[in-house]
A and B are shown apart, each in its own frame.
Chain A
Amino acid sequence: MFSDTILLAHGSGGRMTHDLIGEVFHRHLGNSLLAAQDDAAVWVLSSPGPERIALTTDSYVVSPIFFPGGDIGRLAVCGTVNDLAMVGATPLYLTAGFILEEGLPRADLERVVASMAAAGRQAGVKIVAGDTKVVERGGADLMFITTAGVGEVPKGVCISGANVQPGDVAILSGPVGVHGLAVMSRREGLEFSFPLQSDCAPLNGLVSEMLKAGGPIHCLRDPTRGGLATTLNEIAGQSRVEIEIDEVCIPVSEEVRAACEMLGLDPLYVANEGKLVAFVAPDAERPVLEAMRRQRYGQQAAVIGRVTCAHPGRVVMKTLFGAHRILDMLTGEQLPRIC
């Protein structure tokens, strides 16, 4: 029975669930592991065996589910792939659990799943296990997606937020603030025409080239919720170092600056979904930067600061006019203001 909206019955586990899974999930995500339709996906480890395995999980509840440059599905795949890439792992397989709200248009679900398939192909990963539940109207904001991701960490790769050392150079892969604003521009009560698309993208290709460039990369992180400033604070805390950045060096596009001026937001605290910050040993600065700039998602990579041991856990920014100010973590949610 074909219905153009998702009904509670689609989550019951019976005929309608099976049909939905076949007609939507298998059709778009099709791969041999998923097609086996067992309760779990089973695969043989690569040979010679991986030294280490990386495992991550994430939940996606973004609203609206479609925004300029992406949707919740693309976000889910890229976000999970990026978590794996940030520890230097080669991403392999993802799972995707869906909680659907009764009344969700089926066409919207199809659109999201097709987008996940495309993102998976772009990143070179397969979605091999999934689950679908349907909750009553009001029980979910159209759609929530939970993922897990598995990858293999090559020998010799030692990347962690705790490994940053005084003397390290901080490199940002590109302009910040795009994703958060793209989503906000569609939020009721705030609508504005934001000309930029979300930067949502899989970064494993970029990371792979960076690792090949040679020279120790100590830490990689993607500045998602809370923005660049929050991420830098997390790392400074984990590694017990001080990070000094230069406001003049941080790439921010004109459109992002304009939107932030208008809404009273700070681009350093706006979420990104296709950017990373890398902390590398001084000798690695040149080769890594050059490798990044040759890649699609690192073309505007720039050195934004350095690591010292002055005040462990602190992030300091040299402003446009040479004054220094402390950059804190984001508290709560950044809200548009008029004052």
Chain B
Amino acid sequence: MTAFLAILVRDVKLGFRQGGGAGAAIAFILSVLVLLPLALGPDQNLLQRLAPGLMWLSLLLAVLLTADRLFQQDYEDGTLDGLVGIALPLELVCLAKALAHFFTVGLPLAIAAPLLGILVNINAALIPLLMAAMVLGALALSMLAAIGGAVTAGLRRGGLLVALLILPLYVPVLVFGQSVTATEQGRASSLLVLLALALIAVAVQPIASAAALRAYLR
């Protein structure tokens, strides 16, 4: 347990120190938000209709940009070699690292994005709901990012491959995530399905990532 927490805390710390933390994530979403009215036109009604979907896409983009580095550094600097030899199973090492990614990228975005939605005229009544949905979605997405990141840990240019691997896996999260705010009916059940998806991702990720990382130990 000490080792699990140590890895989690160290990765969060590194995330913030190396400029990849919450600040960068929020700055990123701000810059996406500036571009949107420019790309779609300043029509307030249109922006309001699109706002939640745009938030989900920004979340995806931010995660994609960080996913390929998730295990790469530890692989390149030899940390992974050391972590294989500790008592903590590699599966839990992977879970700790994925959770750290959630805390540095996913969670700050999930909380900030709905609030920043005001810039694109988001329906204020939807903000708490969207926030809850995005926290669950971000958790699932960090797990998917960890799977993609583990598969491409040793690739110098793994970014595109990570995107190709993660995008199809993101579809269910996106579907239920946007349906939380899209209609009145089925709101609660959409949230529950999102929770289920996040839990499935939490369960599958450690096994898949550890299996992928073991391929690099040779």
Whether both chains belong to one complex is answered with no
B: residues with CB less than 8 A from A are none
Please give the residue numbers on chain A whose beta carbons come within 8 Å of chain B beta carbons, in ascending order: none
